[in-house]
Structure 1
Amino acid sequence: MVVIKKDIVFDPAHKLATDIYYPNDTSSATKILIFWHGGGWFRGDKKGLKSLGVDMANAGFMTFIPNYRLAPGDIFPAAHQDCETFVKWLLASEYTDPDDQANIYQIGASCGGTMALALAGKYGFPTITWSAPVDFSNWFKNHPEVVPSPQAKEELGLEKREDIAKAFYKYFVQTYAGSADQKVLQKLDATSYDYQNLGPLFMLNSVAELTPLSGVLQFISFLGEQNKSVQLLTLPGHGHAMDYSAEYLDESLDYLRQIAKRR
């Protein structure tokens, strides 16, 4: 049996809440898992992730699935700030013990993975990303011809999957950034985050999907220059984040359990 607590408010000022999924045998030694949903920073909600929360709790993790503010009503760095607000709330809450920072793990899907990277660098949480976008400023420089659109097939008449993905990529990044200003995009780039405390990191990406693999490889090279270890699993096809979550959830949780055994 999984016990579920819904809509636990962590930021009253912005009316942000989290759902919590408790495993059957919760104790002070139970590992805490934060799942950051995706949606391109302009959509997505914890309400649609009950099944995933239950699966994670059944795997032995006390699982938190928080919401964060969405664009275009709230642009960068609002969602990033909300994620840090949640972590600070969690560490000070009744749901954690004083030394539980070392007991927290993360999985982030799509843009949720981007924000998880920032938190991983600051707090050292072992982290898994599913298709986290990491490159924005260089991508925009290299794709000036792309017209942003959330529905490029219908709006622009595009037919190729790659072209549709590029239009959507430009749309959601620009929507959250608030513009195509390079100064803003550079701050959003994953390479701009502080990775001083980065712990175990496992990144999953399809070889031909919304998140360009070339940017991911450049990001891994960037971390390598800082002597940071990263595991990358490239998946066949074009699935993005939640598209392959059912197939790779067990592998992701096994990775976190192995990390837990060594800590």
Structure 2
Amino acid sequence: MLITLIKGIDSMAIIKKDIIYDKDKNLATDIYYPNDTSSHTKILIFWHGGGWFRGNKESVKAVGINLANAGFMTFIPEYSLAPNRTFPNAHEDAVNFVKWLLDSDYTDENDEENIVQIGASVGGTMAIYVAGKYGFPTVTWSAPIDYSKWMKNHEDVKPSYKAADEFGYTDSHQIANSFYKYFALTYAGGNIPATLKKMDAKNYELNNLGSLMMINSADELTPLDSVMDFIKYLAQNDHEVELLVIKGHGHAMDYGKDYLDESLDFLFQTIKRQK
């Protein structure tokens, strides 16, 4: 275990790296402590993105520091990646992490009430999955939430995570569609309709879903029409959700740091309202 001290002009964060939460899969989390940690400190889980086939906790270190400096003891877990481990491995890892966290020395009794989440891209998808089970207040940045319907409507799209190089595409929509199809099929283990349907967020167990804020760009990798359809589904099932649509084409981490204040304001207000 490595402990690192990160200092800023007006702040300080202590980082504990590579804390194992799943010995069988050798999965670890980094923990970012705020300078004034106390028994009343709130806990934030940040789920990194990467299409379930890449990405890691180190890539979002700056976010962890910012969240710690905002007063949250922040956990950034890793999870299984495709193609070695396909659906539902990463989703199960997320739930197993929460179980580990609640049973660990890092939380006190009843700390489940002190946990919130932010998820970027597919990390946001997993945050919704976890929120549906535990009710944690959650913010998503560009969470993809539809796979089965999208796949039916994009049968002619060629999957690739580097379509500009592989196919010579220059159109941003073609590139985005190729990437969307690639990561979805890679995590699903192929074009398997039953599996893709299980990956759809509206088919998650959402009985305990609490306060949810979804942030999306107006035109990006995550189709806005699928987000609107999901919000309609939540409203029909009496779930609370807020949507913030921002200008531009950025996806998740492209704009995340610029909307960190809005994300934290939502979480702080939700915490205050729950007291």
2:258 maps to 247
Instruction: Report matched runs for 1:77-156 at 5 Å.
Output: 77-156=88-167
**What is the Cα-based RMSD across aligned positions, in Å?**
0.6
Distance, in Å, in 1 between the alignment partners of 2:240 and 2:218 is 21
Q: CA deviation at 1:258?
A: 1.1
Q: CA deviation at 1:25?
A: 1.0
Q: Give the counterpart letter for 2:151 in structure 1.
A: F
In the alignment, which of 221, 227, 230 is matched to residue 216 of structure 1?
227
Distance, in Å, in 2 between the alignment partners of 1:258 and 1:25 is 20
1:229 maps to 240
Identity value in percent: 60
Residues 173-213 of structure 1 deviation map (CA, whole Å, 9 limit, x = unaligned): 00000011110000000011011111100000001100000
Distance, in Å, in 2 between the alignment partners of 1:224 and 1:251 is 22
Distance, in Å, in 2 between the alignment partners of 1:232 and 1:13 is 38
Residues 62-108 of structure 1 deviation map (CA, whole Å, 9 limit, x = unaligned): 00000001000110001001001100000000000110111100000
Distance, in Å, in 2 between the alignment partners of 1:29 and 1:55 is 19
- What is the SS of the residue equivalent to 2:24? helix
1:66 maps to 77
Distance, in Å, in 2 between the alignment partners of 1:46 and 1:149 is 24
Distance, in Å, in 2 between the alignment partners of 1:150 and 1:44 is 13
Q: CA deviation at 1:51?
A: 1.2
1:165 maps to 176
In the alignment, is residue 200 of structure 1 matched against residue 221 of structure 2? no
Q: CA deviation at 1:120?
A: 0.5
**Structure 1 moving runs of 4+ over 6 Å:** none
- What is the SS of the residue equivalent to 1:28? coil
1:182 maps to 193
Q: Give the unaligned 5+ runs of structure 2.
A: 1-11
Distance, in Å, in 2 between the alignment partners of 1:64 and 1:154 is 36
In the alignment, which of 42, 48, 56 is matched to residue 45 of structure 1?
56
Distance, in Å, in 2 between the alignment partners of 1:116 and 1:46 is 15
- What is the SS of the residue equivalent to 1:13? coil
1:12 maps to 23
Distance, in Å, in 2 between the alignment partners of 1:198 and 1:147 is 35
Distance, in Å, in 2 between the alignment partners of 1:208 and 1:2 is 35
Distance, in Å, in 1 between the alignment partners of 2:234 and 2:266 is 20
Q: What's the TM-score, normalizing by structure 1?
A: 0.99
Q: Give the unaligned 5+ runs of structure 1.
A: none
Distance, in Å, in 1 between the alignment partners of 2:166 and 2:147 is 23
- What is the SS of the residue equivalent to 1:105? strand
Q: After superposing the two structures, state which structure 1 stretch, 21-30 or 106-115, moved more.
A: 21-30
Residues 6-58 of structure 1 deviation map (CA, whole Å, 9 limit, x = unaligned): 00000010000000001111111110000000000000000122211110000
Distance, in Å, in 2 between the alignment partners of 1:194 and 1:226 is 12
Distance, in Å, in 1 between the alignment partners of 2:221 and 2:25 is 30
Distance, in Å, in 2 between the alignment partners of 1:160 and 1:24 is 46
Q: CA deviation at 1:166?
A: 0.3
Q: CA deviation at 1:246?
A: 1.4
Q: CA deviation at 1:156?
A: 1.0
- What is the SS of the residue equivalent to 1:170? helix
Distance, in Å, in 1 between the alignment partners of 2:234 and 2:59 is 33
Residues 125-156 of structure 1 deviation map (CA, whole Å, 9 limit, x = unaligned): 00000000000000000110001011111111
Q: CA deviation at 1:168?
A: 0.4
Query: How many correspondences in the alignment?
Result: 263
Residues 207-253 of structure 1 deviation map (CA, whole Å, 9 limit, x = unaligned): 11000000000000111110111100001111000000111011111
